[in-house]
Amino acid sequence: MKLLRLSFIFLSLISYLNADNIYKNNFESYELNSFPNDMMEIDGLFKVEANDEGKKHLQMASEPLTENAVIFGPSIKNSATLEVKVRGFKKRRSFPRFGIGLHGISGFRLRVVPSNNTVELVKNEEAIKSVPFKWNPEKWSNLKLKIEYSNDQSLIRGWVWDEGSKASEEPVISHSHDGTPGQEKASIWGTAYSGKEILFDDISLKYKKQK
């Protein structure tokens, strides 16, 4: 009986260590015009705003015209999945650029570049892969970045799809990387080339507990 109890405790511990932790943020708990106290601005100006129906989101200001970013959540290592809703706006022939990232500001990023009709994977500020993609400026975009680390290999996959539709089973873009993807916080990114704000909402970050 004692051996059985010890086996149960051991299996429960393994299950606990392998379980997903989840960080979520829909910005409803924050005051308007405030900046969330569990986030950190790297560049740019961000604040909580609301739409006409009162639904809150995080708004990135249209200035300064730099690659602006916010990091958030715990420091995560190796495998993780990040999903974020993003709304950008075009102005005549000018388009925004936006993305999400894992493992810090030097980690992998999934970036939508409407001016080039592409989606990119970015590492250390450099685009390492690019595929054709047509952005819909009339709807929110769902972005999903998933990194799986095993046997000293990292598989990086990205999905982008319109709000109201379903994500494809196969990723829009993928890349294999030798070694670990790193360790740091998740991030959101935006550059307001169109001169308009960029909105972020419904953040969901899944990651493994650190052993």
Query: How far is the CA of 155 from the CAs of 6, 12, 73, 108, 181, in angstroms?
Result: 36, 28, 22, 11, 9
Is pLDDT above 60 for 8?
A: no
Q: What pLDDT does 70 receive?
A: 98
Q: CA-CA distance, 70 to 93, in Å (whole number)? A: 27
Q: Which of 205, 59, 61 is nearest to 146 (CA)?
A: 205
Q: Which of 125, 106, 173, 113 is nearest to 145 (CA)?
A: 173
* Residue-averaged pLDDT of the chain: 91
CATH topology of domain 21-208: Jelly Rolls (2.60.120)
Lowest mean pLDDT among 11-20, 39-48, 106-115, 148-157: 11-20
Q: Which residues contact 98 (CB under 8 A, 6 or more apart)?
A: 86, 88, 111, 112, 141, 143, 188, 189, 190, 191, 198
What digits encode the pLDDT tens for the residues 194-209?
A: 999 999 999 999 998 7
Is residue 14's pLDDT more than 60? no
For the cut 90, the answer to whether the pLDDT of residue 186 exceeds it is yes
Give residue 208's pLDDT.
82
pLDDT, residue 46, reads: 98
In three-state secondary structure terms, 3 is: helix
